[in-house]
């Protein structure tokens, strides 16, 4: 039996690793354990509870006003005893967070094989997303196995000289979404009660915005665009779960005052995917939502100048609109007014997989270890 350790710290990591953790725990060929850094304490716990995953190691590293470098240093120091005790043969990390880079560095120094989930994503701009782009690049060059979601991701790895043990498997986010949607749709009335202020007879525009690149003037432009749309289209309801970062929260609550705009608290994963499923358009700067919303047939407008998820743009499920006020207004208006344009995006084939990614990864790891 091989020892397998999953290292994660944020809500997106938990969502994307949950279905994979489940298939490995069900396989008798592995002793599977989960280590959390708690980089996102509350949001992480919500997802872990929803998917019924209990961590074997909880490092509890997040502290108020903690910088990235301090978190990185603490993560490396706290992970070493975990490796010394469990002695993992394989370490799974997902994505691009500080937790991923810290876990990969420790795994490399402890000579454990690293399996990188969602490998090969690149924006080709080391400052955007920051510091995630560099986290991904370093992790790729430390990893033993690269589980890429799309051909574009594989091509990115190839350009960096990474050609061995690279597998095209899709994205585990679709596995997680299918599991989650099945759960929430079975409790429709319960989830409807979470949103008493929202008028679901209107077309719902779901907005998520939190990236540090948007702080300041770009976020003001976004708010002005949303206000214009709320005033122009009386049959829409703009619903914005506002991130707790004061750079976002304070500005949103100051500027976004309109009857057709509902500012709500950050949502747990089940409520978010339920609301996404009820939406007409999704306007976001989130990475995961760019992958999830197309599986639900929702056009995605990405409020970023560059994205490491160009597959959706190429496939037609997503469109880059940046943070320019007029561009956001124009693209939203097109989808609200032009049924053909809406249908083209809503019916485009999601390039991120079919919900079998976790089983494919399990198979590839077993094959490589035998």
Residues with a known catalytic role: 96, 118, 132, 210, 212, 243
Please name the residues in contact with 261: beta carbons below 8 A apart, sequence gap of 6 or more: 226, 227, 230, 238, 240
Please report where in the chains the tokens 């995006």 appear, as a residue: 345
**Residue 36 exposure: Cα atoms within 13 Å on the Cβ side:** 27
CA distances from 254 to 79, 219, 220, 239, 248 (A): 42, 12, 10, 16, 10
107 vs 137: CA distance, rounded Å:
16
CA trace torsion 33, 36, 42, 46 (10° rounding): -20
Q: Which of 137, 182, 341 is nearest to 274 (CA)?
A: 182
- Find how far residue 70's CA is from the centre of its chain: 23
Question: Do residues 281 and 335 touch, judged by C-beta distance below 8 A?
Answer: yes
Please count the helices (runs of H) and the strands (runs of E) in the chain. 16, 13
Helix (H) or strand (E) holding 76: helix 68-86
């Amino acid at each position: 039996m091989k020892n397998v350790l999953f290292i994660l710290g944020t809500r997106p990591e938990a969502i994307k690793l949950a279905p994979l953790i489940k298939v490995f725990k069900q396989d008798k060929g592995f002793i599977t354990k989960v280590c959390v850094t708690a980089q996102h304490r509350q949001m992480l716990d919500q997802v872990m509870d929803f998917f019924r995953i209990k961590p074997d190691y909880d490092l509890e590293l997040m502290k108020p006003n903690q910088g990235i470098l301090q978190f990185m240093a603490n993560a490396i120091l706290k992970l070493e005893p975990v490796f010394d005790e469990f002695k993992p043969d394989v370490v799974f990390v997902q994505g691009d967070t500080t937790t991923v880079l810290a876990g990969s560095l420790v795994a490399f120094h402890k000579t454990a094989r690293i399996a990188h989930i969602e490998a090969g994503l690149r924006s080709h701009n080391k400052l955007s997303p920051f510091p995630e782009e560099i986290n991904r690049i370093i992790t790729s060059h430390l990893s033993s196995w690269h589980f890429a979601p799309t051909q574009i991701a594989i091509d990115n790895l190839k350009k960096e000289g990474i050609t061995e043990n690279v597998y095209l498997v899709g994205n585990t986010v679709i596995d997680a979404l299918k599991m989650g949607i099945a759960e929430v749709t079975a409790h429709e009335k319960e989830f409807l009660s979470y949103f008493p202020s929202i008028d679901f007879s209107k077309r719902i525009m779901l907005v998520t915005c939190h990236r540090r690149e948007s702080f300041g003037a770009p976020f003001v432009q976004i708010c002005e665009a949303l206000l214009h749309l709320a005033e122009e289209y009386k049959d829409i309801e703009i619903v914005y779960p506002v991130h707790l970062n004061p750079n976002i929260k304070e500005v949103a609550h100051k500027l976004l005052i309109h009857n057709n705009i509902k500012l709500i608290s950050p949502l747990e994963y089940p409520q978010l995917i339920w609301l996404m499923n009820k939406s007409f358009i999704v306007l976001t700067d989130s990475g995961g939502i760019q992958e999830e919303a197309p599986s639900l047939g929702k056009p995605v407008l990405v409020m970023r100048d560059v994205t490491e998820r160009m597959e959706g743009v190429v496939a037609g499920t997503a469109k880059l609109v940046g943070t320019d006020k007029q561009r956001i207004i124009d693209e939203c208006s097109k989808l609200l007014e032009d049924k053909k344009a809406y249908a083209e995006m809503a019916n485009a084939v999601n390039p991120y997989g079919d919900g079998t990614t976790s089983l494919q990864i399990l198979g590839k790891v077993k094959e490589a270890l035998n």
